[in-house]
């Protein structure tokens, strides 16, 4: 078999496998979507059978955002929440006083106290 014929067979195989992966992912997403009723699922499947490439393209364009959200839910990824990040205190004086108490009790060093004081005064955490 000539080299270029082999290359075209490999390229065709690559595109075919990529297309099959996309179609199976669409089917997986379609049947895992609990908000879509059975009739709409049947319509999507029929169109995937008879007009596969165009239907796959339309599905990804029309329902792409939902696909990503459902995939994140299946993996257990939740939207990022900033509530765990430390916030600048409303009263830097109380932060400094609390740090001073810790310094006096020996729980923190002078360097740690200075860092806490600097953060309280500048508001950068």
The tens digit of pLDDT for each residue in 90-121 reads: 678 888 888 899 999 988 999 889 988 888 88
Q: What percent of the chain has pLDDT over 70?
A: 86
pLDDT over 60 (residue 82): no
Identify the pLDDT of residue 39: 92
Q: 66: closest CA among 21, 33, 27, 25?
A: 33
2 vs 85: which has the higher pLDDT: 2
In terms of phi and psi (left: phi > 0; alpha: psi -120 to 50; beta: otherwise), the region of 76 is: left
Helix pair angle (3-32, 52-75), 10° resolution: 60
Q: pLDDT tens for residues 33-58?
A: 888 888 999 999 999 999 988 998 89
Whether the per-residue pLDDT at 64 is higher than 70: the answer is yes
């Amino acid at each position: 078999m000539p080299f270029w014929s082999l290359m075209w067979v490999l390229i065709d195989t690559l595109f075919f496998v990529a297309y099959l992966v996309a179609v199976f992912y669409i089917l997986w997403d379609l049947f895992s979507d609990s908000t879509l009723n059975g009739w709409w699922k049947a319509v999507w499947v029929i169109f995937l059978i008879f007009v596969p490439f165009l239907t796959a393209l339309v599905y990804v364009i029309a329902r792409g955002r939902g696909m990503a959200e459902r995939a994140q839910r299946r993996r257990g990824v939740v939207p990022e929440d900033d509530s765990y990040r430390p916030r600048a205190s409303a009263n830097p004086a109380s932060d400094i006083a609390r740090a001073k108490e810790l310094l006096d009790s020996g729980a923190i060093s002078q360097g740690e106290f200075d860092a806490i004081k600097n953060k309280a005064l500048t508001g950068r955490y």
